[in-house]
């Protein structure tokens, strides 16, 4: 068996004969070169002939700790090349310090360890920088920013509805949508309800405008001066600015997902696709996840509760936001979630490893699968009905009868006459 190791200072080639291991050859990096994932392929291509010559077209099994090296060897005809399992190269790694010290004529092992550490630290910094520069990380931050913006908007709406509601409480019933409520107060420019007219409400429909004007005349709210209304209007205008930021973030995610993950975007849309990337950590981690993991992303609490207490496992996580799942019947959602997670797994791997657009084909296959599920399972099965009955039974509150212990452990007695 032969091995090809990637270390901070170069590429080492070793061999194992029975129980003995030894490093036989090496290809060193330049002193100025720090090899990362970005330029490792170029280095291997440059030194490819030298690597092949050192291996001498061996028919033995070749193992390596780097996937790029394994791919290169297989392209060169080494069919027995494979990725090393955990601990398989430990016997070779133990020989690295002595091999470098003898090859470079360095005095002590401490000096070799210091050199390797400096190279490894520099390489790690470069790898971290390379990781952060990935576009999917920015997309993940953008979707998290939208969550923060939504929290701010909810606080602004709660304060506005309470503050402006003192003066005009009926408006909250007529305008139920939070962003519309904030925009409406902002566009009235701090006008009190007695000053509302058709010009200030011209952006609304005729019916909605008439209802608001009629409610303003018959309102039970307290009177307020223009001076006291000005801070309310300022808060509403601040809310409108936050809404613009949210729109800009959504546009940014829409455009970025077209470049970074077009197949995922085609299946579930930009916002849900970005949320999946954020929950997984990045696109690479999402691509390496199984379909079962993607299916329950966002439902970690329910999953651990299932593992801890034996409750029913979650059928879906954040992918419930997909219209294919939340618009279907409850007993069909688990099967549809499984089908969607399978297609998302393929889409994520294609987006990360090749970049080829196959979203249209995946979407057509998914729609066909969803239609098959809906036609095959129009009604819940007996097993699902039984599970539903058991869930209701578990949720039912316990009743305490006289003569038995109550919830505090005290025994109740019938009142004697």
How open is the CA angle 257-263-269, to the nearest 5 degrees?
Answer: 60
CATH architecture of 261-395: Orthogonal Bundle (1.10)
Domain locations in the chain as residue ranges: 2-132, 138-253, 261-395
Judged by DSSP in three states, 190 sits in coil
- Going residue by residue through the chain (417 aa), what tens digit of pLDDT does each one get? 788 877 766 777 778 777 778 887 777 776 555 566 566 777 777 777 888 887 776 677 888 887 778 888 888 888 888 888 777 878 887 887 788 777 777 767 777 777 777 777 776 776 666 554 578 889 999 999 999 999 999 999 999 999 998 988 888 888 888 999 999 888 887 778 888 888 878 888 888 888 988 888 888 888 888 888 899 999 999 999 999 999 999 999 999 999 889 999 999 999 999 999 999 988 989 999 999 999 999 888 888 888 888 777 788 889 999 999 988 888 888 899 999 999 999 999 998 887 788 999 999 999 999 999 989 888 877 777 777 777 777 666 555 455 555 545 555 554 444
DSSP string, 180-214: HHHHHHHHTTT--GGG--TTTTTTS-HHHHHHHHH
Question: What Rg value do the Cα atoms of the chain yield, rounded?
Answer: 32
Distance CA 32, CA 361 (A): 47
CATH of 138-253, one of 1.10.287.130, 1.10.287.4070, 3.40.50.1980, 1.20.1600.10: 1.10.287.4070
Cβ neighbours, 10 Å, residue 29: 17
| pTM confidence score | 0.64
Decide: residue 343, CB within 10 A, 0-12 exposed, 13-18 middle, 19+ buried: buried
Residues in the chain: 417
Q: Do domains 2-132 and 138-253 have the same CATH topology?
A: no
Q: If you search the block for the tokens 């219209």, which residue do you land on?
A: 323
CATH of 2-132, one of 3.30.420, 1.25.40, 3.50.4, 2.60.40: 3.30.420
Q: Which residues contact 394 (CB under 8 A, 6 or more apart)?
A: none
Q: If you search the block for the tokens 């506005």, which residue do you land on?
A: 160
63: left (phi over 0), alpha (psi -120 to 50) or beta: beta
């Amino acid at each position: 068996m032969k091995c090809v190791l990637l270390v901070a200072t170069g590429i080492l080639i070793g061999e194992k004969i029975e129980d003995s291991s030894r490093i036989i050859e090496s290809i060193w990096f330049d002193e100025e070169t720090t090899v990362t994932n970005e330029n490792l392929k170029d280095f291997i291509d440059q030194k490819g002939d030298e690597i092949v010559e050192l291996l001498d077209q061996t028919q033995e099994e070749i193992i390596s700790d780097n996937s790029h090296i394994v791919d290169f060897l297989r392209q060169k005809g080494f069919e027995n090349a494979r990725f090393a399992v955990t601990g398989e190269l430990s016997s070779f790694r133990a020989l690295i310090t002595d091999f470098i010290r003898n090859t470079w004529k360095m005095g002590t092992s401490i000096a070799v360890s210091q050199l390797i550490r400096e190279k490894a630290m520099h390489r790690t910094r470069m790898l971290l920088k390379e990781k952060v520069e990935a576009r999917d990380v920015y997309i993940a931050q953008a979707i998290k920013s939208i969550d923060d913006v939504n929290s701010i908007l909810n606080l602004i709406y709660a304060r506005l509805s309470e503050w402006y509601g003192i003066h005009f409480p009926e408006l909250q019933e007529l305008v139920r949508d939070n962003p519309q409520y904030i925009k409406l107060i902002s566009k009235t420019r701090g006008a009190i309800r007695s000053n509302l007219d058709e010009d200030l409400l011209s952006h609304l429909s005729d019916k909605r405008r008439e209802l608001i004007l009629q409610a303003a005349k018959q309102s039970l709210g307290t009177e307020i001066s223009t001076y006291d209304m000005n801070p309310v209007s300022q808060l509403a205008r601040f809310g409108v600015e936050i809404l613009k930021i949210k729109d800009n973030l959504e546009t940014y995610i829409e455009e970025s997902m077209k470049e970074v993950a077009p197949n995922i975007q085609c299946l579930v849309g930009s916002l849900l696709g970005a949320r999946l990337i954020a929950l997984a950590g990045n696109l690479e981690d999402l691509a390496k996840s199984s379909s079962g993991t993607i299916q329950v992303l966002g439902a970690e609490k329910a999953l651990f509760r299932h593992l801890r207490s034996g409750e029913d496992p979650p059928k879906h996580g954040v992918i419930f936001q997909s219209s294919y799942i939340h618009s279907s019947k409850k007993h069909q959602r688990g099967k549809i979630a499984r089908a969607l997670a399978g297609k998302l797994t393929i889409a994520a791997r294609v987006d990360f490893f090749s970049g080829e657009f196959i979203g249209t084909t995946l979407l057509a296959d998914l729609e066909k699968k969803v239609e098959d599920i809906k036609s095959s399972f129009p009604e819940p099965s007996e097993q699902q009905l039984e599970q539903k009955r058991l869930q209701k039974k578990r949720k039912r509150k316990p009743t305490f009868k006289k003569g038995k212990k109550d919830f505090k452990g005290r025994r109740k007695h019938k009142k004697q006459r």
